[in-house]
């Protein structure tokens, strides 16, 4: 996941040719975004409030810090 911290958008280094499903979950447990992405597609997050989020994809969970733009 880069850049991390992020502001506005981020990318997941996806070397697979397949579409992958991602979920963005606030630390309070609420899912704030769920979608499918292609290889090297950026994920736009302009509406996310600053804070810590969990990104779930490909059976992984990574932390993402969102800063104010």
One digit per residue, pLDDT tens: the chain, 69 residues? 899 999 999 998 877 778 889 999 999 999 999 999 888 789 999 999 999 999 998 778 888 888 876
Specify the pLDDT at position 14: 76
Please tell me the predicted confidence (pLDDT) of residue 69.
63
Q: Tell me the per-residue pLDDT of 18-27, one tens digit each, with 9 for 90 and over.
A: 888 999 999 9
CA distance 38 to 49: 25
């Amino acid at each position: 996941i880069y850049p991390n911290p992020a502001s506005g958008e981020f990318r997941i280094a996806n070397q697979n040719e397949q579409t992958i499903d991602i979920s963005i979950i606030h630390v309070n447990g609420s899912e704030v975004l769920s979608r499918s992405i292609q290889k090297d597609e950026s994920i736009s997050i302009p509406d996310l409030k600053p804070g810590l989020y969990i990104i779930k994809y490909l059976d992984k969970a990574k932390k993402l810090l969102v800063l104010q733009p």
